[in-house]
A and B are shown apart, each in its own frame.
Chain A
């Protein structure tokens, strides 16, 4: 059994390596573009935009900050992402990682 502390460290390292690979190859940007497209297609963006408008109206444009807005919409934004989109992204990441021989 690996020491949990040790495992945590390894996880963090793996995370860093994967992130580095994604950035280096430009894959991160492509994934972002795919995600953006999917979220527009399924109406997520419009829903969230409408929600933002409500929040801004409620608090008043003069008083609200980006931080306030982020805090307000993040839970809803996360919840509204369709499972299919998550699955597709996950699959794309898996495929990408499988192609990387040196991880």
Chain B
């Protein structure tokens, strides 16, 4: 068994090139168009026995397909002297002179590209290819022989944060972010290359996060003093400056916003946001005009798509918009009164039985049901319907079009309605595992055709796609005027810790689930590679 190519294949490549391989691969192995699939379905038979394989091989020298099992391809190779054939399932090249498969880098690269294209064509995700260290990385590994092994008892990633004067709102978010698996992997694999000029680099919040991850995962046990982070937050989000108590949710959104801006280097910020808007306008097929159609790590991890469907009560025309979101804010307390009560049967989706105005949600699932429930907009909020060309009453429903890798749920415990401010301390239960399928746009039972319905239906077979696991919970104790933030974070599977500024204590999963959650962080169980 060889791990590379052989002289026969090399010779073939110099005289014939790679074109035959490419054509066979595109049309008969990994088809990316319906036309290619039709050709494949019709022509992939053994030219000797007319059967469909198994293990059909294609000659690289002439047009001949033959069974490997029944040795028809062997006969062909022998009689014609054509010694190279491609396996039509896996795309590997067999050399009959060497008597084994060959692994040619150039051909494998062609094959890899074709497979990815072909999978996308039928709505499947690309295959995961494992990390192969390149020469530079091998050298770095050689020069740094020390290895750290993460074991159950290890305290890796755990570090307290000193409170710098009412900064627990920041500390709890930092704890949650440093234990966000995908974000951690991004920073620990050193993937932020700062675009900011060197004298400004100290102003880049992403660089500061990078340093923060190093601090958290270096193994030090003394509490870290996040003064640089605080300073950066103050200079970049002025509304959070000062030693007053702040809202952790507000801080989270501000932090994500600044990180998102700094990811691209903030000096040419204006230009970038202009460009991304241009791109969003031209390339976005949904026409949703996504304002931050951005590929930065923050958007890759936190951005989801919220679909809003407004249905005209007169003509049932549905107008759909999709907006990017970083978190999902959920109402607690009694549902909105009156509003839709005159038309209580307006709900086209009978799956959700709770009627608004009468119930207070006591679980995350109930909150999400309420969030995605069709809401009657009432006579005071008539919207101009594009089909009727007149102002009509309508219903509005929110659903998740695209799920983010990390879903942050914000339970609106702080009520700032006109006249009074109060905190809602109701216990809201939340699960360790969450399935978002019922809240997806594709679960909405309507008739306006989704063009990719078939794809969605078929991929439902792999049904854990929409499942999430809880990894951090931010809690608030006290009243609306004054209180304290702490958080629970999951370090390793089933290993929970409570972070209270500089104190870190082991916690049980039960403690986490019974706590009065304010911000809930879930990550997807299965990631799609592309």
Contact = CB atoms under 8 A, between A and B. Distances in A.
A29 B122 contact: yes
Category for how many chain B residues contact A = 20 to 34
Contacts of B124: 29-30, 33
Contacts of A26: 37, 121-122
A90 interface: no
A16 B52 contact: yes
A37 B34 CA distance: 24
B41 interface: yes
Interface string B103-144: 000000000000000110110100000000000000000000
Contacts of B1: 56, 61-66
A37 B461 CA distance: 10
Contacts of A66: 1, 100-101
B40 interface: yes
Contacts of B101: 66
B436 to A, nearest CB: 19
Interface string B41-52: 110110000001
A65 B98 CA distance: 10
Contacts of A21: 41
The A contact surface, by secondary structure, is helix
A19 interface: yes
Contacts of B267: none
A23 B37 contact: yes
B41 A29 contact: no
Given A29-B118, A34-B462, 19 more contacts: A21-B41, A23-B40, A23-B41, A23-B44, A24-B37, A24-B38, A25-B37, A26-B37, A27-B458, A29-B124, A30-B124, A30-B458, A30-B461, A62-B1, A63-B1, A64-B1, A65-B100, A66-B101, A67-B99
13 contacts: A15-B52, A16-B52, A20-B41, A24-B34, A24-B41, A25-B37, A26-B37, A26-B122, A30-B461, A61-B1, A65-B99, A66-B100, A66-B101
Interface of A: 15-16, 19-21, 23-27, 29-30, 33-34, 37, 56, 61-67, 92
Closest 3 CB pairs of A and B: A26-B122, A23-B41, A24-B41
